[in-house]
Chain A
Amino acid sequence: MAFEVVADSLGAQAKDSSKTVANIAVRRRRETIFKICGLLATSFGLITLALLLIDLAAAGFPRLSWDFFTNFPSRRASQAGILSAWVGSLLVILTTASIGVPLGVGAGIYLEEYGRRNWLTSIIEINITNLAGVPSIVFGLLALGLFVYGLGTGRSIFTAGLTLALLILPIIVVATREAIRAVPAALREAAYGIGCTKWQVTRDHVLPASLPGILTGVIIGISRALGETAPLITIGALTFIAFLPDSPISSEFPFVSFSWLFDGFTVLPIQAFNWISRPGSDFHANAAAAGIVLLAITLGLNAIAIYARYKLRKKLQW
């Protein structure tokens, strides 16, 4: 197997070492410039976040007082508060969590532990991926057409909670699946080995082991739902509400009431949106103050979730 030996044209390109050094200096400078750009681009998000916080704080901080939390909205900016908004947000999120969490976790468990690899499971999987990419306002249209008018649930807390539950369903499903997937097969085998049924394995071993991961996803989903505005506007959430929904606790048996589920409502982001849309800087200060409250809650929830996730990833080296 003889190789063709070529005349050494490579030797001819004798290395001019001084030229190479100059060339390297240029290339190194290019690299340094890029590193600086990279650092700037990476911190751009941080800088914006800081600017946003400062801007919001400067505009809204003076309005934050006890009264702001206990007053209903008002025509006079200085007297307007977010009582109905935060109560509304709380009740909507309660509804969302009660529907979205069992549904999402159940779906996640099914797809990871039970689902056989067949066309039906693939359709569900593709569907969830797709659903995650559907704009939130389209969920609002679904709710308006199907729940409000089709099923007659009205422009109520229940409709809002259900809509947001469907919206965050993909987030919870994906988080549940990831958490379950991280549970080592050895744990399942150990449980099967002592004669557990599939559900016993899932309930007693897989779920406890994946609970922190699932919770992280739930927190992120809840925080997302808290900040959502568009779908709720679409179903016709009222923007000016000077009353509270029925109390969930009643003085008569059975002491709990669910009539609040079908009351009209407003939520924090809608209240903030309402104030932003008004001309005049008085109400803008209110919007900023409501924004601060909203941001404190959502960023707080996100920070908890993100921190928990990073801790988890470190700890969970099975």
Chain B
Amino acid sequence: MTAMSSVSIKTTIAAKPEFKFGKNKVSANNVNVFYGDKHALKDVTVNIPEKAVMAFIGPSGCGKSTFLRCLNRMNDTIPIAKVTGKVEIDNQDIYDKALDVVQLRARVGMVFQKPNPFPKSIYENIAYGPKIHGLAASKSDLNEIVEASLKKAGLWDEVKDRLSDSGTGLSGGQQQRLCIARAIAVSPEIILMDEPCSALDPIATARIEELIDELRENFTIVIVTHSMQQAARVSQRTAFFHLGVLVEEGTTDTIFTNPNDSRTQDYITGRFG
């Protein structure tokens, strides 16, 4: 695993087969975000393809997490935040008054920077979402969902004998996979990941990255990361943010091997950030 990270970025990418993108799942048009007087995000326009991993990279404070939080309207929870512009998922405006944010978030799951399992049992952590959304008709349904979600998150074998233990007692990497399983359990279409590995050690990080690669088959994944290697390893498309502006967006290959913008070039070659 340590060997993997020492391989140069270019060879990692060269080894990947050509990726064929599906239709666009999310399209954002001229999105602006203000935190009080601060203009945090400026005129971001981008499309996110379905069943692929899209990475947002850029130096910290560049607006990548802010933009991610626009996609499931988590910015709503911050009283001073104001969002303008248009975000569509499957051609439906998610800021439309008719759309309930609860319905939106059931479709767009999220995994956070720091693992945040609920202080409940492992089982209850997973069962929480299906329960509130009424996804399970019976107890056995619920058991099935919990098992399937934990299996998908690659956690089942480690926890199947202690489902009633507290979720907060797991290791950091396990907690983060529990949070991913928790998100999967509501069967969302999109999963947003906000630097999901920044609080984890390299081994746990590698497991999460493998998991992301597997999840891509069923979900549209958007990941914010401060690690360029991670973006190169897991994503098919990459967008580079700088000072609240989307500088450049394209296939991960292009961004890392042949960027158009000099700022992107400077960032990926490590001249700032």
Answer yes or no: A and B touching, Cβ < 8 Å. Answer: yes
Q: Are A13 and B135 in contact (CB under 8 A)?
A: yes
Q: Are A10 and B184 in contact (CB under 8 A)?
A: yes
A7-31 residues at the B interface, CB under 8 angstroms: 8-11, 13, 15, 19-21, 23-24, 27-28
Write out the residue numbers on chain A whose beta carbons fall within 8 Å of the beta carbon of B135: 13
**A186 interfacial by beta-carbon distance below 8 Å:** no
Supposing A10-B145, A13-B135, A23-B133 touch, asked if A4 and B102 sit within 8 A by C-beta, the answer is: no
**B39 interfacial by beta-carbon distance below 8 Å:** no
CA distance A1 to B156 in the complex (A): 14
Q: Are A10 and B187 in contact (CB under 8 A)?
A: yes
Q: Are A28 and B102 in contact (CB under 8 A)?
A: yes
Q: Shortest distance in angstroms between A43's beta carbon and chain B's nearest beta carbon?
A: 22
**B261 interfacial by beta-carbon distance below 8 Å:** no
Q: Are B214 and A10 in contact (CB under 8 A)?
A: no
CA distance A291 to B216 in the complex (A): 72
B105-151 residues at the A interface, CB under 8 angstroms: 106, 132-135, 144-145, 148-149, 151
**Which residues of B are interface residues toward A (Cβ below 8 A)?**
100, 102-103, 106, 132-135, 144-145, 148-149, 151-152, 154, 156-157, 184-185, 187, 206-207, 210-211, 214, 218
**Which residues of A are interface residues toward B (Cβ below 8 A)?**
1, 3-6, 8-11, 13, 15, 19-21, 23-24, 27-28
Q: Are A24 and B187 in contact (CB under 8 A)?
A: no
A-B residue pairs, 3 tightest by C-beta: A6-B151, A3-B154, A9-B148
Write out the residue numbers on chain B whose beta carbons fall within 8 Å of the beta carbon of A24: 100, 102-103
CA distance A298 to B135 in the complex (A): 56
Residue of chain B at shortest CB distance from A14: B187
Write out the residue numbers on chain A whose beta carbons fall within 8 Å of the beta carbon of B210: 1, 3
Residue of chain B at shortest CB distance from A31: B102
Write out the residue numbers on chain B whose beta carbons fall within 8 Å of the beta carbon of A21: 100, 103
Q: Shortest distance in angstroms between B104's beta carbon and chain A's nearest beta carbon?
A: 10
Q: Are A10 and B102 in contact (CB under 8 A)?
A: no
CA distance A141 to B181 in the complex (A): 61
CA distance A28 to B98 in the complex (A): 13
17 A–B pairs (Cβ distance < 8 Å), ordered by A:
A4-B154, A6-B151, A6-B152, A9-B145, A9-B148, A10-B149, A10-B152, A10-B185, A10-B187, A11-B218, A13-B135, A13-B187, A15-B187, A23-B133, A24-B103, A27-B102, A28-B100
Residue of chain B at shortest CB distance from A2: B210
Residue of chain B at shortest CB distance from A17: B103
Q: Are A1 and B133 in contact (CB under 8 A)?
A: no
Q: Shortest distance in angstroms between B53's beta carbon and chain A's nearest beta carbon?
A: 16
| Partner of A1 from B134, B144, B207 at Cβ < 8 Å | B207
CA distance A15 to B188 in the complex (A): 10
Write out the residue numbers on chain A whose beta carbons fall within 8 Å of the beta carbon of B149: 10
Q: Are A20 and B187 in contact (CB under 8 A)?
A: no
| Partner of A9 from B144, B206, B207, B211 at Cβ < 8 Å | B144
A3-B210, A10-B152, A27-B102 given. 4 additional CB < 8 A pairs? Answer: A5-B214, A10-B145, A10-B185, A28-B102
Q: Are A8 and B218 in contact (CB under 8 A)?
A: yes
Write out the residue numbers on chain B whose beta carbons fall within 8 Å of the beta carbon of A19: 134
Q: Shortest distance in angstroms between A32's beta carbon and chain B's nearest beta carbon?
A: 13
Write out the residue numbers on chain B whose beta carbons fall within 8 Å of the beta carbon of A15: 187
Supposing A10-B184, A20-B103, A28-B102 touch, asked if A3 and B133 sit within 8 A by C-beta, the answer is: no
Q: Are B134 and A23 in contact (CB under 8 A)?
A: yes
Residue of chain A at shortest CB distance from B148: A9
CA distance A4 to B211 in the complex (A): 11
Write out the residue numbers on chain A whose beta carbons fall within 8 Å of the beta carbon of B148: 6, 8-10
Write out the residue numbers on chain A whose beta carbons fall within 8 Å of the beta carbon of B102: 24, 27-28
Supposing A20-B103, A23-B134 touch, asked if A11 and B151 sit within 8 A by C-beta, the answer is: no
Residue of chain A at shortest CB distance from B214: A3
Q: Are B187 and A3 in contact (CB under 8 A)?
A: no
Residue of chain A at shortest CB distance from B207: A1
Write out the residue numbers on chain B whose beta carbons fall within 8 Å of the beta carbon of A4: 151, 154, 156-157
CA distance A6 to B218 in the complex (A): 12
Residue of chain A at shortest CB distance from B151: A6
Q: Shortest distance in angstroms between B230's beta carbon and chain A's nearest beta carbon?
A: 17
CA distance A49 to B157 in the complex (A): 59
